[in-house]
Amino acid sequence: MAPLARFHCPEVSAPGEKLVLEGEELHHLRNVLRLRRGDHLALFDGRGRGFQASLLSIDAKQAVLLVGAEESTPPESALELHLAMALAKGDKLDLVIQKGTELGVFAFHPLVSARADLKLDPARAETRAARWQRVALEACKQSGRARIPEILPPADLDRFLETDLPEERIVLDPSGDLLSSLPPRPEPGPVVVAIGPEGGWEPDELIRLCAHQFAVLRLGPRILRAETAAFVAACVWQLRNGDLAR
């Protein structure tokens, strides 16, 4: 049986209630998927809960839904993985957010690093942030997640280091020790992994990261592109401590 089409509905809270879909979600339901009265679908609130639902009625302005049973085991990762990545031109960060969301990343921290090949003024930053949110939302629908990962505003390294970060802190750099040298934690907890730009971290950036208890590691013998390193890092930590190991 094909998976049910999924729709973001922040208001959904309990079986038996009737809800209305409008705007972009209505457009997707009515004009893209062409669902009809009586069809079944799935709803998620974006905070971790998902529900089955059925379509009671639909017209050009709204769709009325009847909420059914709650999903018993939403496919959220047990690992709270924070992925910090330097800003990059083009759609590289879009791709990282899309694939990272599919892999269960908990939060994304865009970084303004010294060698980053993209600088954002406030207006462009707002536009990019809206696009990243759409990318994450669509990836949640595709992957079956019920929680939309948090995407923080772009921050420079100092502001990033002042935030409340997980205790386990990793920065990826070719100068670091191999990942295999990292001892397993008896009680895996949240982790943040920082990935630099294509040109690499400045030496003083690595010094500041290490001063804030970041361990410097490399993923293997080859130099990876920044977006490739992000995918590999998400897979590796999910395999070590997350749901890929279940």
Residue pair 50/5 in contact (Cβ under 8 Å)? The answer is no
Residue pair 101/138 in contact (Cβ under 8 Å)? The answer is no
Average pLDDT of span 2-21:
92
Q: What is the pLDDT of residue 91?
A: 86
The 3 state secondary structure assigned to the chain is: CCCCCEEECCCCCCCCCEEEECHHHHHHHHHHCCCCCCCEEEEECEECCEEEEEEEEECCCCEEEEEEEECCCCCCCCCCEEEEEECCCCCHHHHHHHHHHHCCCCEEEEEECCCCCCCCCHHHHHHHHHHHHHHHHHHHHHHCCCECCEECCCEEHHHHHHCCCCCEEEEEEEEEEEHHHCCCCCCCCCEEEEECCCCCCCHHHHHHHHHCCCEEEECCCCCCCHHHHHHHHHHHHHHHHCHHHC
Q: pLDDT-derived band of residue 114, with 50, 70 and 90 as boundaries?
A: confident
* 198 vs 115: CA distance, rounded Å: 8
May I ask the CATH architecture of the domain 6-70? Beta Barrel (2.40)
Size (the chain), residues = 246
Q: What is the pTM of this model?
A: 0.90
Question: What pLDDT, in 10s, does the model give residues 141-184?
Answer: 999 999 999 999 988 999 999 999 999 999 999 989 888 777 77
Residue burial 228-243, b: 16+ Cβ < 10 Å; e: rest: ebbbbbbebbbebbbe
Q: Positive or negative CA dihedral for 91, 92, 97, 102?
A: positive
Q: pLDDT-derived band of residue 246, with 50, 70 and 90 as boundaries?
A: low
Domain ranges in the chain are 6-70, 81-245
For strands 63-70 and 50-58, give the pairing: antiparallel
Q: pLDDT-derived band of residue 193, with 50, 70 and 90 as boundaries?
A: very high
* 233 vs 45: CA distance, rounded Å: 28
Q: What is the homologous superfamily of the domain 81-245 according to CATH?
A: SPOUT methyltransferase, trefoil knot domain (3.40.1280.10)
Residue of 195, 189, 188, 194 lying closest to 223 (CA atoms): 195
For residue 206, what are its two tokens? 């690595």
Q: What is the pLDDT of residue 66?
A: 96
Residue of 119, 129, 236, 120 lying closest to 172 (CA atoms): 236
Residue pair 29/7 in contact (Cβ under 8 Å)? The answer is yes
Q: What is the pLDDT of residue 218?
A: 92
Q: What is the pLDDT of residue 122?
A: 64
Do the two domains 6-70 and 81-245 of this chain adopt the same fold? no
